[in-house]
Structure 1
Amino acid sequence: MLTLMSMTRRDHTLPINIVPDDIDFMGHVNNARYLGWVQDAVLAHWRKLAPAEALASRAWVALKHEITYRKPAFIDDEVIARTVLDSIKGARAFYTTVIARGEEVLAEVKSSWCCIDSETLRPARIGEEIASYFFPKKA
């Protein structure tokens, strides 16, 4: 597993647009919608930091999500998803995403993802050359 002791982690913040279809019968965002936001945030993080070659040859599939809901979100809320890559092991990546409204945490999500080769759809190891974009060395 890639060690983080001598490295920093580069996070990503994604603004969330709540639309009427996100609202459930109780008048707040349906819990299932949060997982879509996590996927959007993780993939945006990848697109923002990964090198062009990796973007062209790799894709991601979700393996597991553990979500803790803290507070509901509503149609007019300004919400963001803050995500950070915690660690990498082989073809797996482990992320933490926090969904927030201002300083209020609405949900916390731990998720694991598998990097795959875009052509073969088989797991693709995440080597140091790609990891260095997400975990730059401390100065």
Structure 2
Amino acid sequence: MAAFQFPIDIRESDIDHMGHVNNNVYLKWVQDAVVRYWETRAPADAVARHLWVALKHEITYRKPTFLDDIVVADVVAEKVKGARAYFTTVVMRGEDVLAEIKSCWCCLDATSHRPARLARSVVDRFLTR
């Protein structure tokens, strides 16, 4: 399964008092990357009918990230079970792994905001391409 590459824009406001990207910024990056993955891989009608909310993030920080770094997040959807989807996101600077994030997300119906299972045809497109 090929990873979806999401370029990350590092802003001055992302930098903390120690001179590197603050840990809480990684959560925004993961959310932006996973949502963009969904918007890119899923059919347009499925994107319009569904929203995603994060249920859990487990982040392992490997190396600090700095303002001038060129960084990309590689996103892989590992599996979909019911209304939940499991992702692995790896934040990279060249060949260096900066952070690894395992996350679990709940798919919601965009109108009712209740958990929604995706059709098998959507899951198949969503997981592989």
Q: TM-score normalised by the shorter chain: which range applies?
A: over 0.9
The higher radius of gyration belongs to: 1
Whole-Å separation in 1 of the counterparts to 2:127 and 2:54 = 21
Residue deviations 1:46-86, cap 9 Å, x none? 00011011011100000000000000000000000000000
Q: Structure 2, unaligned stretches of length 5 or more?
A: none
Look up the match of 1:44: 36
Distance 1:15 1:135 in 2: 20
Q: TM-score, normalised by structure 2?
A: 0.96
Partners of 1:90 and 1:127 within 8 A in 2: no
Aligned residues: 129
In the other structure, the counterpart of 1:64 is 56
Partner Cα distance (2:127, 2:57) in 1: 22
Q: TM-score, normalised by structure 1?
A: 0.90
Q: CA RMSD in A?
A: 1.1
- Identity value in percent: 55
Listed one character per residue, the Cα deviations across residues 90-118 of structure 1 (whole Å, up to 9, x for unaligned) are 00000000001000000000000000000
Corresponding residue SS for 1:66: strand
| Ranges in structure 1 where 5+ consecutive residues have no aligned partner | 1-8
How far residue 136 of structure 1 moved from its aligned partner, in angstroms, is 4.3
Structure 1 contact 16–37 (Cα < 8 Å) conserved: yes
Q: Deviations over 1:18-70 (max 9, x none)?
A: 00000000000000001110001100100001101101110000000000000
Q: Cα 1:98–1:89, aligned 2, differ >3 Å: closer, same or farther?
A: same
- Tell me, yes or no, if structure 1 residue 124 matches structure 2 residue 116: yes
